[in-house]
Amino acid sequence: MNFFQDIATWFNDPSHWRGDAGIPNRLLEHIQYSICAIVAAILVAMPIAVWLGHRRQFGTIAVNVSNLGRAIPSFAILVLGTQAFGLLELPVIGSFTTFVALVALAVPPLMTNSYVAVAEVPDELRDAARGVGMSERGILRRVELPVAVPLLMAGVRTASVQVVSTATIAAFVGAGGLGRYIIDGRAIFDNTEIFAGALLVAVLSLATEISLGFAQRALTPRGLRAELVTARAAAVVATPIPDGKVGL
């Protein structure tokens, strides 16, 4: 039997669709970890970053936070968390270590992108809003936030995809989720299970990316949709482009 038939057989096996170790339960665990973490990270990071962006204060810190976050491997945060908290299970959020690690991972990109999204709203727009007598809160709510949506949502998209990716690794420190198939398959050298798990994880990540892409599009004011093409890449890089001016 060739390898792809093995994979098909694995997916057709009813025992892989039942119980705690079945695909539906693993998928739910994966989604549970991811949603709890991303919602918590948004609540922590976004209000502060948006307000700082409005004030245009502490920009260097907001931008450098994500570079610092990048240098620490997410895998390392998970292992350190397990050493510190053990395998603590809590209601709603599931594995506490996984939750903390995923929140720590999602905060930097959300912070940087939310700050940059609001801070880079063109001055003319703010000045015009002030000129017609809008309050500071009105400017933030009705001018800056709508204009910032493409990049704000690109930050949410980037952070979410990263969280779904890393929730896979959480299986290594004893949590559930779809990563279990890769880690458990690896432990018994079962290449079929590893490959099937990897397929499930890849499909979930792509589904996250695509559905948030639609959400981003739906929330973006029609006139700004051209910016969506580059917003995702901009959120991944999360650093303003340095100018190459010659100093003429």
Partner 1 sequence: MVFASNVDRWLWWDWIGRNTDLIWSSLREHVILAAGAVGLGLLISIPVGIAAARWRWLYAPVLAVTGVLYTIPALAAFALLLPLTGLSRTTALIPLTTYTLLILVRNVVEGLDGVPGDIKDAADGMGYSRTRRLLRIELPLAVPAIMAGVRIATVTVIGLAAVAGLLAIPSLGNLIYIGQNRPIRTAITVGIVLSVALAVTADLILSLIQRLLTPWARVRAER
- Residues near partner 1 (CB under 8 A) are 3, 67, 70-76, 79-80, 82-83, 161, 164-166, 168-169, 172-173, 179, 182-183, 186, 191, 194-195, 197-199, 201-202, 205-206, 208-209, 229-230, 232-234, 236-239, 241-248
Nearer Cβ to partner 1 (43/207): 207
In whole angstroms, how close is the CB of 187 to partner 1 at the nearest point?
10
Nearest approach in angstroms of CB 136 to partner 1 is: 32
Query: Do the Cβ atoms of 134 and 161 come closer than 8 Å?
Result: no
Instruction: State the minimum distance, in angstroms, from the CB of residue 79 to partner 1.
Output: 5
State which residue, 43 or 76, has the beta carbon closest to partner 1.
76
> Who contacts 208 (Cβ-Cβ below 8 Å, separation ≥6)?
34, 160, 161, 164
Tell me the pairing of strands 94-95 and 89-90.
Answer: antiparallel
Q: What is the C-alpha separation between 3 and 216, in angstroms, rounded?
A: 39
Q: 151 to each of 23, 88, 95, 135, how far by Cα in Å?
A: 34, 36, 31, 24
What token pair was written down for 165? 């990716």
- Please give the span between the terminal C-alpha atoms of the chain, in angstroms, as a whole number: 69
131 CB-near residues (< 8 Å, 6+ apart)? none
Nearer to partner 1, 152 or 170 (CB): 170
Least separation in angstroms between residue 153's CB and partner 1 is: 14
Nearer to partner 1, 24 or 73 (CB): 73
Task: Determine the number of helices (DSSP H) and then strands (DSSP E) in the chain.
Answer: 11, 2
The nearest distance, CB 137 to partner 1, in angstroms, is: 33
As measured in angstroms, the least distance from the Cβ of 247 to partner 1 is 4
- Closer CB to partner 1, residue 54 or residue 157? 157
Least separation in angstroms between residue 21's CB and partner 1 is 18
Nearer to partner 1, 145 or 199 (CB): 199
Q: Indicate the residue among 50 and 164 with the shorter CB distance to partner 1.
A: 164
Of residues 35, 2, 3, the one with CA closest to residue 198: 3
178's CB contacts (< 8 A; 6+ apart) are 23, 26, 27, 30, 168, 171, 197, 200, 201, 204
